[in-house]
Structure 1
Amino acid sequence: MSITSKAPICSKLHRLLRHQNQLHRLLRHQNPRLHVSFLHLITKKPSTGDSSSSSSPIIAQIVEILKSNDNESWKTNHHLSQLLFSNSYSLSSDHVLQITRRLGDSSTALNFVQLLRSNSQTPDANLLSFAFQAAFELASRKPGWKENLLDLLQTSKELGVPLTVNSVTYLIRCFGRVRMVEKSLRIYDELDSQMRNTHVRNVLIEELLRSRRFSDAVKVLDEMLQPNAEFPPDENTVAIVLPVLLEPKKHKREVLSEEEIVELMLKFGRHGVFPDSIMFTRWITGLCRNRRIDMAWKLLHGLMEFDGLPVKVPSCNALLTGLAKDRQFPKMKLLMEKMLAKGISPDVVTLGISINHLCKAFKIDEALNLFESMKRGEIGTLLEPDIVIYNTLIDGLCKDERVEEGLAMKRKMVLEGICLPNTVTYNCLIDGLCKVGELDKSLELFDEMEKQGVQPNVITVNTLVSGLCRHGKAGSALKFYREMEGKGLRGNKVTYTTLISGFCGVNNISKAMGLFKEMRQTCAPDAIVYYTLISGLSQAGLMDDVESILLDMKSAGFRPDISCYNVMINGFCKKNKLDKAQSLLEEIEEVGLRPDNVTYNTLISYCSKSRDLKTAQKLLKQMIENNVVPTVVTYGTLIHACCSVGEMDEAMEIFRQMNSSTRIPPNTVVYNILIDTLCQKNEMRGAFSLFEDMIAKGVSPNSNTFNALFKKLRDENELEKALKLMGKMTELACHPDYITMEVLTEWLPVVGKADELRQFIEGFR
Structure 2
Amino acid sequence: MFSFSRNCFKYCTSFFRRNVPNETILSTLSFCHKFQDSNEKNLHKICFSNHTHKFDCFLFQTNTSYTQFPVPFAPFSSPYSTKAPSRSYRRRARNRLLKSSKPTLDQAQFQLALSQLPPRFTTEELCCVIAQQDHPLVCLELFHWASQQPRFQHDVSTFHVTIKNLGAAKMFQEMDDIVNQLLAVPLIGSEALFNTVIYYFTQARKLTRAVNVFKHMKSGRNLVSCYRPSIRTYNILFAAFLGRGSNSYINHVYMETIRCLFRQMVNDGIKPDIFSLNSMIKGYVLSLHVNDALRIFHQMGVVYDCQPNALTYDCLVYGLCAQGRTNNAKELCYEMKTKGFVPGSKSYNSLVNSLALGGEIEEAVNYLWEMTDKQRSADFITYRTVLDEICRRGTIQEGMSFLQELQEKDLVDGHAYRKLLYVLEDDYGDSVSRNMGIQ
TM over 0.5: yes
| 1:653 match | none
| 1:373 match | 299
User: Are the aligned partners of 2:238 and 2:258 in contact in 1 as well (CA < 8 Å)?
Assistant: yes
Which of the numbers 289, 293, 302 marks the counterpart of 2:207?
293
Helix, strand or coil at the partner of 2:300: helix
**Against the structure 1 CA distance between its residues 456 and 427, is the aligned structure 2 distance closer, same or farther, given a 3 Å change threshold?**
farther
| 2:332 match | 409
**Against the structure 1 CA distance between its residues 411 and 231, is the aligned structure 2 distance closer, same or farther, given a 3 Å change threshold?**
same
User: Are the aligned partners of 2:156 and 2:189 in contact in 1 as well (CA < 8 Å)?
Assistant: no
| 1:726 match | none
- The alpha carbon displacement at 1:375 in A equals 2.4
- Distance (whole Å) between structure 2 residues aligned to residue 234 and residue 398 of structure 1: 53
| 1:218 match | 144
| 2:388 match | 469
- The alpha carbon displacement at 1:480 in A equals 1.5
**Against the structure 1 CA distance between its residues 399 and 242, is the aligned structure 2 distance closer, same or farther, given a 3 Å change threshold?**
same
- The alpha carbon displacement at 1:238 in A equals 3.0
Q: How many equivalent residue pairs?
A: 314
Say whether 1:272 aligns with 2:189: yes
| 1:506 match | 428
Look up the equivalent residue of 1:467 and give its one-letter code.
V
User: Are the aligned partners of 2:217 and 2:227 in contact in 1 as well (CA < 8 Å)?
Assistant: yes
| 1:179 match | 111
- The alpha carbon displacement at 1:394 in A equals 0.7
Helix, strand or coil at the partner of 1:394: helix
- Distance (whole Å) between structure 1 residues aligned to residue 169 and residue 302 of structure 2: 45
Helix, strand or coil at the partner of 2:429: coil
Helix, strand or coil at the partner of 2:189: coil
**Larger Rg belongs to:** 1
Say whether 1:246 aligns with 2:172: no
Which of the numbers 294, 309, 327 marks the counterpart of 2:227?
309
**Against the structure 1 CA distance between its residues 257 and 219, is the aligned structure 2 distance closer, same or farther, given a 3 Å change threshold?**
same
| 2:242 match | 324
Between 1:418-427 and 1:404-413, the stretch displaced more is 418-427
1:2-401 superposed matches below 5 A: 179=111, 198-199=123-124, 212=138, 214=140, 217-218=143-144, 220-221=146-147, 233-248=154-169, 256=174, 258=176, 260-267=177-184, 270-275=187-192, 283-287=200-204, 291-305=205-219, 306=222, 307-309=225-227, 313-326=231-244, 327=251, 328-378=254-304, 382-401=305-324
Deviations 1:361-385 (A, max 9, x none): 211111111111222233xxx1111
Deviations 1:320-370 (A, max 9, x none): 122123321122122223333455433222222322232122111111111
TM-score by length of 1: 0.35
| 2:6 match | none
Deviations 1:638-693 (A, max 9, x none): xxxxxxxxxxxxxxxxxxxxxxxxxxxxxxxxxxxxxxxxxxxxxxxxxxxxxxxx
- Distance (whole Å) between structure 2 residues aligned to residue 206 and residue 465 of structure 1: 54
| 2:80 match | none
Look up the equivalent residue of 1:403 and give its one-letter code.
T
User: Are the aligned partners of 2:344 and 2:376 in contact in 1 as well (CA < 8 Å)?
Assistant: yes
**Against the structure 1 CA distance between its residues 413 and 212, is the aligned structure 2 distance closer, same or farther, given a 3 Å change threshold?**
closer
Helix, strand or coil at the partner of 2:237: helix
Deviations 1:471-518 (A, max 9, x none): 754543331132344445444644542332132122349749979xxx
Deviations 1:8-42 (A, max 9, x none): xxxxxxxxxxxxxxxxxxxxxxxxxxxxxxxxxxx
- The alpha carbon displacement at 1:421 in A equals 4.7
Deviations 1:608-630 (A, max 9, x none): xxxxxxxxxxxxxxxxxxxxxxx
- Distance (whole Å) between structure 1 residues aligned to residue 421 and residue 433 of structure 2: 9
| 1:646 match | none
- Distance (whole Å) between structure 2 residues aligned to residue 269 and residue 366 of structure 1: 41
| 1:434 match | 356
**Against the structure 1 CA distance between its residues 199 and 324, is the aligned structure 2 distance closer, same or farther, given a 3 Å change threshold?**
closer
- Larger relative contact order (C-alpha < 8 A, sep ≥ 6)? 2
User: Are the aligned partners of 1:304 and 1:342 in contact in 2 as well (CA < 8 Å)?
Assistant: no
- The alpha carbon displacement at 1:430 in A equals 1.3
User: Are the aligned partners of 2:198 and 2:213 in contact in 1 as well (CA < 8 Å)?
Assistant: no
1:632-671 superposed matches below 5 A: none
User: Are the aligned partners of 1:387 and 1:420 in contact in 2 as well (CA < 8 Å)?
Assistant: yes
**Against the structure 1 CA distance between its residues 430 and 214, is the aligned structure 2 distance closer, same or farther, given a 3 Å change threshold?**
closer
- The alpha carbon displacement at 1:445 in A equals 4.4
User: Are the aligned partners of 2:280 and 2:293 in contact in 1 as well (CA < 8 Å)?
Assistant: yes
Runs of 4+, deviation exceeding 6 Å = 175-178, 180-185, 203-211, 512-515
Look up the equivalent residue of 2:266 and give its one-letter code.
L
User: Are the aligned partners of 2:348 and 2:368 in contact in 1 as well (CA < 8 Å)?
Assistant: yes
Between 1:344-353 and 1:328-337, the stretch displaced more is 344-353
Deviations 1:161-213 (A, max 9, x none): xxxxxxxxxxxxxx99672789999x96xxxxxx6764576579789997748
User: Are the aligned partners of 2:197 and 2:210 in contact in 1 as well (CA < 8 Å)?
Assistant: no
TM-score by length of 2: 0.57
User: Are the aligned partners of 1:430 and 1:445 in contact in 2 as well (CA < 8 Å)?
Assistant: yes
- Distance (whole Å) between structure 2 residues aligned to residue 295 and residue 243 of structure 1: 16
- The alpha carbon displacement at 1:467 in A equals 2.9
Helix, strand or coil at the partner of 2:303: coil
| 2:49 match | none
- Distance (whole Å) between structure 1 residues aligned to residue 116 and residue 389 of structure 2: 74
Look up the equivalent residue of 1:469 and give its one-letter code.
D
User: Are the aligned partners of 1:359 and 1:393 in contact in 2 as well (CA < 8 Å)?
Assistant: yes
- The alpha carbon displacement at 1:242 in A equals 1.6
Look up the equivalent residue of 2:321 and give its one-letter code.
C
User: Are the aligned partners of 1:394 and 1:406 in contact in 2 as well (CA < 8 Å)?
Assistant: yes
- The alpha carbon displacement at 1:396 in A equals 0.7
Which of the numbers 478, 481, 486 marks the counterpart of 2:403?
481
- Distance (whole Å) between structure 1 residues aligned to residue 342 and residue 239 of structure 2: 26
The answer to which structure has the higher helix fraction is 1
**Against the structure 1 CA distance between its residues 179 and 368, is the aligned structure 2 distance closer, same or farther, given a 3 Å change threshold?**
same
User: Are the aligned partners of 1:358 and 1:367 in contact in 2 as well (CA < 8 Å)?
Assistant: yes
Helix, strand or coil at the partner of 1:375: coil
User: Are the aligned partners of 1:500 and 1:513 in contact in 2 as well (CA < 8 Å)?
Assistant: no
User: Are the aligned partners of 1:427 and 1:459 in contact in 2 as well (CA < 8 Å)?
Assistant: yes
Identical-pair percentage: 16
**Any gaps of 5 or more consecutive residues in structure 1?**
1-174, 189-194, 225-229, 516-765
Look up the equivalent residue of 1:303 and give its one-letter code.
M
Deviations 1:694-739 (A, max 9, x none): xxxxxxxxxxxxxxxxxxxxxxxxxxxxxxxxxxxxxxxxxxxxxx
| 1:28 match | none
User: Are the aligned partners of 1:245 and 1:255 in contact in 2 as well (CA < 8 Å)?
Assistant: no
- Distance (whole Å) between structure 1 residues aligned to residue 410 and residue 239 of structure 2: 39
Look up the equivalent residue of 1:292 and give its one-letter code.
K
Say whether 1:497 aligns with 2:419: yes
**Against the structure 1 CA distance between its residues 460 and 276, is the aligned structure 2 distance closer, same or farther, given a 3 Å change threshold?**
same
**Against the structure 1 CA distance between its residues 509 and 273, is the aligned structure 2 distance closer, same or farther, given a 3 Å change threshold?**
same
Deviations 1:537-558 (A, max 9, x none): xxxxxxxxxxxxxxxxxxxxxx
1:519-534 superposed matches below 5 A: none
- Distance (whole Å) between structure 2 residues aligned to residue 318 and residue 513 of structure 1: 56
User: Are the aligned partners of 1:274 and 1:310 in contact in 2 as well (CA < 8 Å)?
Assistant: yes
**Any gaps of 5 or more consecutive residues in structure 2?**
1-106, 245-250
- Distance (whole Å) between structure 2 residues aligned to residue 244 and residue 456 of structure 1: 40
Say whether 1:419 aligns with 2:340: yes
| 2:75 match | none
